């Protein structure tokens, strides 16, 4: 019974406080605060997850018992491919949980029970949450708003805290590896203390435990993506609580491989090359000074080439959009707004690192030659993200173009085939009056289109296919230009998608020239630069995955 | 010719990059990075200010030469009291600039020229910017959008960087004072190095220079508020570029002292008491261990009492709103949205510190008795901000209440006076149909009300006054309840306003128990806790000033 705005503030402030409390526990653990053990942190996280589990169970029960009531859906939220990728990441998260349970069993002598309870709870939590997101990510909650709002925001921040926890573990691991490399290379001037959290007893089968603790770190990047993805989906669900949704927005996103060979082949080549570069880098780095330098040079040269290609592709895409000016779709859409904010916001992280590198290069008293590759690399990282964000923002706001394209297509159909003209034009006019952006269905009789067919999908694929079939090869000339444009855009998007996946790999799996370069550390000092990188890197990594997800969506829309 | 959304992304990304680059220069200076001197930082800031100066000159010239064209105004943006307070802060900023110039003259032997150029440029920049904001804060820019968007966002981030620069100077000063106190109290176990940036030569009249460098720090808090206030006003201007404004929103905000004696007296008492407490605290702290402890206990007890009063006042306010449920005004309004986001976002800063204190109290191995006062204090800081934010958010979204109140008032007028009934009801109906929220003018003839009277103010005060005069004392019973409610709300708001001003004073002028308490430092470690406090404190301080500003606006609206 509280007004929308107030209920939002009530719940968001609650969520922020939970988040702050958790962040401070994480900080306390990270800096080895006296009196704060890992068990306190895990207790807190477990409690949060259990609370969320209870709420999700209540919500699922409650909504299944009210299934007959018509429930509004936000069709833009929780797309199928998003739920698919979250399932994939969740599976890896559960495997990670199993490994952690194995680790606990191995060290069970000296680990507290919470270290065993946490991964079990986390696995159950992951399972139920994926089930929940599959069933309810599109819900637009209109009843019992207060309890549901609190539940959703609690889930958002629980996932964010789990994300922060994973990020912290991963950062500590990367930092330790970096310190070990520095020790190997003989940098004695920096006081290096390994940040060790290994338990104070022996594991019963020692090889088993060391295998697990090594293997765990290859799975962390996926777990990190899972948590952040889950919290963004839940955040959209929260923004949708009590929202008034216009019912005109059920466009089915379709995935077609047709005509994107160039983009795909280039992208897959980049993906393979990146994996190769990362493997070589990880083998070479820290072995000796010359090997480290050659690994760095190789990485920089490769990244410079790739970023230039990506920037060029993005520029071409923007230019194509600029040729035919259209007003953009500015309608309210929480999912899209979040996507755009996240793109710009998380790019901030990598801009921070890049500007730090640029500053370091100009201020350093002596620059070894290989560090000069760092300059174009850093500049290109900034420019490429700038361009790519513009391209994605323009693409995701280009909804209405589809409509006019389809009208043009329909006109061609009408002119060429010459049948059903009256019906087509009639339903087209009707669609235009109602402001309907789904002209795919406009060849259906008005009665079917109007009322009974409110669910997603609804046999439109067949319609689409039959219409495409009706377009004989003789009818192309009129809209070839639009189609060619679309194909170029689709190739660009596919290429950029695979490039972003590729660029996600190096930092996520420990190929971080920002550490190994050494220049920034000498300018800013070891501690300050490590803090900057550790704060900014998670966002920089997330940017790549998020950009890939956005580009996938763009691809399906073009 | 670029679409709105794209132009926004173009300029905001530019602004973010400027900001990031500046932040890293600040960081480099703060950590004494090799090769980065203060002069580099000041050069960068001076260049940014000069660029902004050029742009502002161009804009002022350009808009005065196009004065005859009708320009849209966002009447919600840049309220007069906001411009008034920015002028006040700007005056102090200019005084600060003069002191800095004096400091430069004194140390001119060994300071680089940039240290003299910077304050001069800053003073000119402040002058012109205040002039600019007086004339153009309400503009809704519709032409030459790209250049103007870039100029405004450049100004936003220039001011934010100047803010960060001042905050950094202030934090360094506070930290040094804290370290000096620790040295006096004999804490030898923490390795304390004073972070000294004093120039390596003698000032010609020594007393003059030390007087200046002491005096400067009493002016910094005002300079900090000026910069952040300017950047929020410019941000609203940026959000308004190219916006479509509905013209129905020219309500004149009026300031009345009538019937708020209780709130004012209580508030002024609090203000006086706070100043007393701060003075005693600053004299006592760091002298000896017992004196420090008694100062801390005094501060905590005082703050606990005050926060409980404020929380109670806020709760009463919310309860009054809850009694008569009304739907809130959810219309688009960049100024208001920014206000709300800032309230919740900056509260985050103080929540971080408070949760840190709570965690420290529970995790510390030994708590001296005086630290226990910290627990209720920290809890109350969290709860009070939670409640106050809810109260402000509800108040600022309660626009339509005014309408119904006025309709009720008008009805009473109609019933009591019995004249002009047809005209009143006619124009009232007309107002309701047009969705007009300014019924103050509804007694005017339709022709006047409809077209010619689009400018703000427009003689409505006289209307208002004459209508209030028409309400004889005999006609009160019907709406006394509403008026009493309004008076209570106004008292609460005035009280909270003065309390927030009061609570702004202690942290801004160096009364920071988070440092002097010592408990958190032993739990988290000196360095981590100092970093947390220095990152969170500026937001916590800004919160108080911003809440006061919001409450002032609420007061004028009730």
What interface predicted TM-score (ipTM) does this complex get? 0.80
The mean pLDDT of B442-456, rounded to a whole number, is: 39
Distance to chain A for B262, nearest Cα, Å: 28
**Which residues does chain A have within 8 Å of residue B31's beta carbon, measured at their own beta carbons?**
524-525, 528
Average pLDDT over residues A96-107: 88
Which residues on B lie below 8 Å from A16 (Cβ)?
Answer: 344, 347-348, 351
Closest-CA distance, A398 to chain B, in angstroms, reads 10
DSSP A449: I
pLDDT digits (tens, 9 = 90+) for B96-150: 999 989 888 888 888 888 889 999 999 999 999 999 999 888 888 776 677 888 9
Q: What is the mean pLDDT of residues A65-80?
A: 72
Judging contacts by C-beta atoms under 8 Å, the chain B residues touching residue A31 are: 524-525, 528
Q: Name which of B13, B386, B389 is nearest A344 (Cβ-Cβ).
A: B13
CB contact under 8 A, A393 and B17: no
The residue among A80 and A307 whose pLDDT is bigger is A307
Tens-place pLDDT, residues B156-172: 999 999 999 999 988 88
Q: Which residues does B139 contact at the CB level (< 8 Å), separation at least 6?
A: B63, B71, B72, B73, B74, B237, B240
Q: How confident is the model at residue B555 (pLDDT cuts 50, 70, 90)?
A: confident
pLDDT at B481: 67
* CA-based nearest distance A323→chain B, Å: 11
Contacting residues of B for A532, CB less than 8 Å apart: 27
Decide: A348 and A342 in contact? Cβ < 8 Å.
no
Q: In sequence order, what DSSP letters do the residues of A194-242 get, joined into one string?
A: ------SS--SSHHHHHHHHHHHHHHHHHHHHHHHHHHHHHHHHHHHTT
Across the interface, do B13 and A389 touch by the CB < 8 Å criterion? Answer: yes
- Among the partner-chain residues B2, B386, B524, the one whose CB lies closest to the CB of A28 is B524
Is pLDDT above 70 for B452? Answer: no
Distance from CA of A60 to the nearest CA of B (A): 30
pLDDT > 80? residue A515: yes
**What number is the average pLDDT over the span A76-97?**
88
Interface contact flag, A393 B5, Cβ < 8 Å: yes
Contact A36 B359 (CB under 8 A): yes
Contact residues, chain B, for A392 at CB < 8 Å: none
Query: Average pLDDT over chain B, rounded to whole?
Result: 80
What is the tens place of the pLDDT at every residue in B509-533?
Answer: 888 888 888 888 888 888 889 889 9
Of the candidates B13, B325, B351, the beta carbon closest to that of A386 is on B13
Residues in chain A closer than 8 A to B21 (CB atoms): 355, 358-359
pLDDT greater than 90 at residue B475: no
Average pLDDT of the segment spanning B186-194? 63
What's the pLDDT score for residue A399?
61
The confidence score (pLDDT) of residue B406 equals 46
Which stretches within B31-143 are classed as H helix?
A: 38-65, 80-106, 114-136
Contacts of residue B441, Cβ cutoff 8 Å, sequence gap at least 6: B449, B453, B458, B460, B463
**Residues of chain A positioned with their CB less than 8 A from the CB of B16:** 344, 347-348, 351
Q: What was the pLDDT predicted at B67?
A: 67
Within a 10 A sphere around the Cβ of B111, how many other Cβ atoms?
Answer: 18
The answer to whether B355 contacts A20, with C-beta atoms less than 8 Å apart, is yes
Q: Rg of chain A over CA atoms, in angstroms?
A: 26
For residues A288-300, give the mean pLDDT. Answer: 89
Please list, in sequence order, all residues whose beta carbon lies within 8 angstroms of the beta carbon of residue A428, skipping any fewer than 6 positions away: A407, A410, A439, A442
Question: CA-CA-CA-CA torsion for B5, B7, B11, B16, nearest 10 degrees?
Answer: 30
Instruction: Please answer yes or no on whether A25 and B359 come within 8 Å at the CB atom.
Output: yes
Q: A33, A239, A328, A360: which to substitute to probe chain B, counting the most B Cβ within 10 Å?
A: A33
Query: Distance from CA of residue B237 to its chain's centroid?
Result: 16
More confident residue, A137 or A44: A44
Which of A328, A393, A528 is facing B31, going by the closest CB pair?
A528
pLDDT of residue A205: 75
* Chain A residue whose CA is closest to B319: A2
Q: How big is chain B, counted in residues?
A: 558
- Among candidate residues A153, A197, A149, A191, the one with its CA nearest the CA of residue A171: A197
Task: Say how many CB pairs under 8 Å bridge A and B.
Answer: 165
Residues of A in contact with B17 (CB under 8 A): 351, 355, 382, 386
Structure tokens at B381: 């800081």
Min mean pLDDT across A163-177, A336-350, B364-378 is at B364-378
A356 has pLDDT over 80: yes
- Residue whose pair of structure tokens reads 């194995």 in the numeric block: A102
Q: What pLDDT, on the 0 to 100 scale, is given for residue B274?
A: 95
Query: In angstroms, what CA-CA distances link B452 with B67, B328, B431, B440?
Result: 19, 30, 16, 16
Angle between helices B38-65 and B145-185 (to 10 degrees): 150
Q: Does residue B270 surpass a pLDDT of 50?
A: yes
B351 interaction partners in chain A (CB closer than 8 Å) = 16-17, 20
Name which of B12, B27, B37 to mutate to probe chain A: the one with the most chain A Cβ atoms within 10 A of its Cβ: B27
Task: Supply the pLDDT for residue B244.
Answer: 75
Smallest CA–CA separation between B470 and chain A, in Å?
35
CB A297 within 8 A of CB A368: no
Residues ≥6 apart with Cβ < 8 Å to A452: none
Distances B85 to A194, A241, B131, B429, B546 between C-alpha atoms, Å:
52, 38, 13, 39, 12
CA distance A7 to chain B (A): 9
Distance from CA of B46 to the nearest CA of A (A): 18
Q: How many angstroms separate the CA of residue B340 from the nearest CA in chain A?
A: 9
Q: How far apart are CA B340 and CA A9, in angstroms?
A: 9
The pLDDT score that the predictor gives to residue B94 is 94
Mean pLDDT, to the nearest integer, of A133-153? 83
Nearest to A452 by CA among A467, A463, A441, A462: A441
Mean pLDDT of A192-215: 76
Q: Which residue of A has its CA nearest to B16?
A: A348
CB-nearest partner of A525 from B20, B31, B356: B31
Yes or no, beta carbons of B352 and A12 under 8 Å apart: no
Of B58-67, B386-395, B405-414, the range with the highest mean pLDDT is B386-395
Of the listed ranges A47-51, B118-122, B342-346, B397-401, the one predicted with least confidence:
B397-401
Chain A hits for B12, CB-CB cut-off 8 Å, are: 344
**Distance (Å) from the C-alpha of residue B150 to the closest C-alpha of chain A?**
15
From the list A34, A344, A528, the residue facing B523 with the nearest CB is: A34
User: pLDDT-based confidence at A347, cuts 50/70/90?
Assistant: very high
Pick the residue with more confidence: B90 or B481? B90
Q: What tokens does B267 get?
A: 């508030």
Q: Which of B5, B9, B348 sits opposite A20 (nearest CB)?
A: B348
Q: In this complex, do A390 and B3 lie within 8 Å of one another by their Cβ atoms?
A: no
What average pLDDT score do residues A272-297 get?
90
Kindly determine whether residue B20 and residue A348, on different chains, have CB atoms separated by under 8 Å: yes
Q: How far apart are CA A183 and CA A190, in angstroms?
A: 9
What is the DSSP secondary-structure string of A325-365? ---------HHHHHHHHHHHHHHHHHHHHHHHHHHHHHH-S
Residue A129 has pLDDT above 60, yes or no: yes
Residue B350: closest CA among chain A residues belongs to which residue? Answer: A20
Question: Hey, what are B43's tokens?
Answer: 């050069």
The chain A residue lying nearest B31, using CA atoms, is A524
Of the listed ranges A52-61, A541-550, B102-111, B466-475, the one predicted with least confidence:
B466-475
Distance of alpha carbon B405 from alpha carbon B409, whole angstroms: 6
Average confidence (pLDDT) over B220-242: 90
- Give the model's pLDDT for residue B103: 86
Min Cα separation A494/chain B (Å): 22
Query: Which residue does chain B place closest to A329, by CA atoms?
Result: B5
Average pLDDT over residues A292-313: 93
What are the C-alpha distances in Å from B57 to residues B54, B89, B124, B151, B242? 5, 22, 12, 11, 21
Cα gap B395→B555, rounded to integer Å:
9
User: Per-residue confidence at A368, pLDDT binned at 50, 70, 90?
Assistant: confident
Q: Judge whether B394 and A5 are in contact, CB under 8 Å.
A: yes
> Across the interface, do A3 and B327 touch by the CB < 8 Å criterion?
yes
Rounded to a whole number, what is the distance in Å from the CA of B365 to chain A's nearest CA? 7
Residue B10: list chain A partners with CB under 8 A. Answer: 390
Measured in angstroms, the CA of B522 and the nearest CA of chain A are apart by 8
Does the pLDDT at position A227 exceed 50? yes
Instruction: Provide the mean pLDDT of chain A.
Output: 80
Q: What is the pLDDT of residue A480?
A: 45
* Contact across the interface for B20 and A327, Cβ inside 8 Å: no
3-state helix, strand, coil split of chain A in percent (to 5) is: 75, 0, 20
Q: Decide if A340 and B23 are in contact by the 8 Å CB cutoff.
A: no
CB contact under 8 A, A35 and B355: no
Q: What is the mean pLDDT of residues B1-30?
A: 88
- Say if CB A10 and CB A2 are below 8 A apart: yes
* pLDDT tens, position by position, A453-497: 333 344 444 444 444 444 444 444 444 467 788 888 999 999 999
Does A86 have pLDDT greater than 80? Answer: yes
What pLDDT, on a 0 to 100 scale, did the predictor assign at position B147?
83
* The length of chain A, given as a count of residues: 558
Q: Which residues contact A494 (CB under 8 A, 6 or more apart)?
A: A260, A263, A264, A267, A555
pLDDT greater than 50 at residue B312: yes
Contact status, residue B73 vs residue B63, Cβ threshold 8 Å: no
- Per the model's pLDDT, the better-predicted residue between A253 and A30 turns out to be A30
Tens-place pLDDT, residues A171-197: 888 888 888 888 777 765 555 667 767
B115/B73: higher pLDDT: B115
């Amino acid at each position: 019974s509280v007004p929308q705005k107030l209920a939002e503030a009530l719940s968001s402030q609650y969520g922020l406080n939970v988040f702050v409390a958790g962040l401070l526990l994480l900080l306390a653990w990270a800096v080895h605060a006296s009196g704060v053990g890992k068990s306190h942190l895990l207790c807190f996280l477990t409690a949060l997850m259990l609370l969320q589990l209870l709420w999700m169970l209540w919500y699922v029960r409650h909504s299944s018992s009210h299934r007959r009531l018509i429930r509004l859906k936000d069709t833009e939220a929780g797309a199928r491919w998003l739920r698919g990728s979250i399932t994939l990441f969740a599976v890896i998260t559960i495997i990670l949980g199993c490994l952690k349970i194995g680790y606990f069993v191995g060290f069970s002598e000296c680990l507290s029970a919470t270290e065993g309870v946490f991964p079990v709870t986390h696995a159950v939590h992951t399972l139920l949450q994926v089930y929940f997101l599959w069933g309810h990510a599109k819900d637009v909650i209109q009843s019992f708003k207060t309890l549901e709002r609190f539940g959703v925001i609690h889930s958002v921040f629980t996932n964010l805290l789990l994300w922060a926890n994973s990020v912290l573990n991963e950062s500590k691991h990367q930092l330790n590896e970096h310190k070990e490399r520095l020790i190997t290379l003989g940098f004695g001037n920096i006081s290096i203390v390994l940040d060790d959290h290994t338990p104070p007893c022996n594991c019963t089968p020692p090889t088993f435990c060391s295998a697990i603790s090594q293997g765990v770190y290859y799975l962390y990047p996926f777990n990190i993506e899972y948590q952040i993805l889950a919290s963004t989906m839940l955040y959209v669900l929260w923004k949708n609580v009590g929202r008034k949704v216009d019912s005109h927005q059920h466009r089915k996103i379709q995935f077609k491989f047709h005509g994107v060979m160039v983009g795909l082949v280039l992208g897959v080549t980049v993906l393979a090359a990146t994996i190769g570069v990362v493997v070589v880098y990880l083998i070479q780095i820290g072995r000796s000074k010359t090997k480290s330098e050659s690994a760095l040079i190789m990485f920089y040269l490769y990244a410079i080439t790739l970023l230039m290609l990506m920037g060029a592709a993005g520029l071409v895409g923007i230019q194509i959009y600029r040729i035919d000016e259209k007003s953009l779709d500015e309608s309210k859409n929480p999912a899209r707004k979040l996507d755009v904010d996240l793109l710009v916001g998380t790019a901030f992280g990598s801009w921070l690192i890049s500007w730090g590198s640029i500053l370091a290069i100009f201020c350093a008293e002596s620059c070894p030659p290989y560090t000069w590759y760092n300059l174009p690399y850093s500049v290109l990282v900034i420019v490429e993200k700038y361009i790519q964000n513009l391209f994605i923002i323009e693409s995701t706001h280009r909804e209405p173009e589809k409509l006019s394209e389809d009208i043009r297509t329909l006109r061609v159909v009408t002119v060429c085939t010459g049948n059903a003209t009256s019906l087509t034009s009639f339903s087209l006019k009707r669609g235009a009056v109602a402001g309907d952006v789904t002209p795919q269905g406009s060849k259906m009789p008005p009665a079917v289109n109007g009322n009974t067919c409110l669910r997603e999908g609804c046999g439109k694929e067949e319609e689409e296919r039959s219409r495409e079939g009706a377009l004989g090869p003789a009818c192309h000339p009129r809209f070839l230009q639009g189609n060619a444009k679309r194909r170029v855009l689709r190739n660009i998007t596919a290429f950029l998608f695979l490039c972003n996946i590729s660029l996600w790999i190096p930092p996520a799996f420990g190929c971080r020239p920002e550490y190994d370069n050494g220049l920034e550390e000498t300018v800013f000092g070891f501690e300050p630069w490590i803090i900057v990188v550790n704060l900014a890197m998670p966002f920089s990594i997330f940017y790549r995955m998020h950009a890939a997800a956005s580009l996938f969506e763009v691809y399906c829309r073009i």
